[in-house]
Structure 1
């Protein structure tokens, strides 16, 4: 122990820390102690008759829990096998707890393995307990004042302490990660219900947020790396390791026969039995017996026609409707993000509750918190005397739609994160929080992940909102334009009650247009055409000028293309007018349109009548 400059020949008495310092160490790991106590007591019942004591030490080597034979208390205290004992290697030299802290490994330090001569009679068998992100939290230790000379005598003790450390670690893990999706994996079907080997926690976006030590070792095997390097798995999507996406895991959250719940590891191909526990804040309702899982509700069907990319998203959403999983909708401005959010709300069990839309980009920065979180009366200058409930509480029992979430200030993001994590909201100036039960749907046209990397959007809020991401394609990339036009015309009948339609030539123009304003622009175009059309069928001349401009892939109009198109149309129209001697009425009859339509076409193409000769 040259690094610690200890002399092995010097007999050192055990160091027992004073009560105030011991309380500090115990308070720092209060939650783990509460869970571990049951395991410590159960382990002691197994080993007490063999002369062992059970100790639990924190990651600094201080014994924070202990059970031993009261008849030998004085001997145990003198040997350091006692509450408050300091087993840090820097003070005590090589010993079970100190070496476990240094290596993170289960092991036995038997008799002469100890560095300090004071401890040579002891045998200490230990196992580490890790926190959900792989940091060592505690060391479980069974030690004896006397034992057989052979170290192999401690083999069963080592297996026993490993087993109990795993149970304590897993119980503590599940309790501390109750707001995450918990994935339990085991190779043993018979014991799956009562004992789980591998446990992982997933955040709402399906990324790994934590693991117990067995799962960490499993991931290390899949990554072909050492278990210490398996921390690199944190933040990676579960689909990197399991042959399943996050939304596909929900089917394992319902009570099924365990033998049907089989999942394959993507690396090794090994099959494991799986159980999924949803977050405490998420309710997963049993699937109706006669309803297919992929069936899309009517409100969602109205979002799109036969566009494959949107249909895949709608199928995914249909399986998640009756959960509290947050939905993040991305897409360019005008692609129908709020329309989709309303359809999700109308399709789930919350349809009877309120749908509360919030445009985060439209709220002034100095008002966004009072509007969202509410306030108590008189909490600031200008506040209403009776206070304000706030939009989040208004959404209780329903859906909160946060449009343009990327425009929310960072300070407000912090408060929103707390609301989503705790499912309660503290109004400004309030003294007690109010519980809220709501589905959250957020939307943005911005690249939120890019904003996260630049420090402009909170990463933890992004992953909290990103339970499932739905991307709405721009209208120029959709293949269901004709369906969209038909839906719009269905609700815009001709004044005499006749159904409206669109000519094939007009549809051709709309199909070749780039739609920089997306569906919002399409609605405006159809409204314009319905207003000016003199017949139930909308033709070329009923369309606004903007749609005759060609738009490239970046949404920019091609001036050359537009000029060429207009030039051809103008030349054709001039030829028709010349054939009739520039007679407007005769040309209109030739083309099968009325005089108003012909005049509108001439203005659009810049065609004018030649001056009359005098």
Structure 2
């Protein structure tokens, strides 16, 4: 390996290349040889493509999109089968001829046994995305290339091919750039998701992620289930979030994986396929999820459209964070008036922010997750003189570190392999004349903090790969739930940037600290009713009393999600009752109340009196301020009786873990 290629390379990459070179020698290859290559005859190549038709048909449009990103960069896009034989290629005409000289063309095998260490063969051998640059290739003849490759797996986790971008390194090292591999990996993931959707077109599919804004992006988890709730498969993101392999998941029922009965998911897909619900993974992590399926008697009576995959241009940038899921229903506030719902702390924040509206002073919004930081930023922009110009929101935590620089600052034509022709305007320039909202600024990498600091100082920006400074006029609003002063002390946030962004600092109150809960609830319901007339007009007094007792760790986002799910469960009722609230929310509240021990334990022996006074929990709601554990006790008792004391059957119907039912029985025995 050329010693120069090792400079600055991480140890892991050096180890990958060293092992690949060892395999190449074991195959009997010699570095200086120029082995003959004989592409498959045309009819044999057509047969091979036919055998890989599903991969080929789903990959072709993605390859075309990827090629549009790298046009005029002396490079090409290649698709191979599982053995490394090139099925199809797209490239710049002046580079295609150079590529043919080293056998980089359709019908040629680039497995390590044939071509030595190279991105295609090594990625397939290691089953991992791989970059092989210049002198890292085993054969000297291939050292004119820089290549980035990612394996492609089918919906059952089997490697079926690879996607590669190869470019010319001679006289230009631009091709060796981490952005290229990120683009290739995302393109491979698009293909995998297309294959997944096609394979399970008639299954019930669950899209989920811990962050609501990632639903509908490449980062979401996908899981498919049969009509009887049997697990079928899951994509890479889902496996990562669930923390289980496909082999293990194949033996897990839906309620164990997502903490709710499968029937509830089917009901969600049937009644409101575009709405989200909250599920709980085996790890205890709560995720936002959306269920969808095509029209089938086993599931739903009306068809639902499948979402097309995002195009590569959008995917490569993550998402410039737009409205979160809790504001998609139309409840998104756009002015100070809509945010001022009667809470004194919130009113004080609005008065302070309003005073700097006419002045170009940065705003830093602090607050816990879900307190409405982006709502405030949008309202501030709406009330400012910049209201007619763009409002551009960027979630610094959602952008991959390898792409955040290009997304924020843009790049020039040819800045790296994978760069679009004519370059790309970054988010900062998109906001020129308007407002740039940097959410989760505390998650911005240090290197980008330095560049952002320079932009704020000089009021100009130099795109990646460029030399000319472009003037930019933006108002900066930053937000974070982190303690930036502690991060400064820890060396993870720049002090000079901190003093640039905190012209005015305001802290949004947590929901449990606010006094306008009833108004917020009604406002959210009213907004939902404008979207869906079946949404209940109000919540019952019991529900409002229960809400007043909650800690609301997820704040406004959690409240919105609870109301969304409860509205669906209420199914056109005039008011949302306790029986309509999500079970995980009730469990969470009961556990918090039990831990706090704010009230005496419920006397379970009085359960018969409770039933006499209140009836079934599904027919009448408990009296105001009554502990939820009492309501749950009655429900557990009824379910156990209906199943003859069978704890497993009762647990499945209730959607509770068996340990929860056992814990109740122990409590009952103690009394």
TM-score, normalised with respect to structure 2: 0.41
Higher relative contact order (CA 8 A, sep 6+): 2
> Rg bigger for which structure?
1
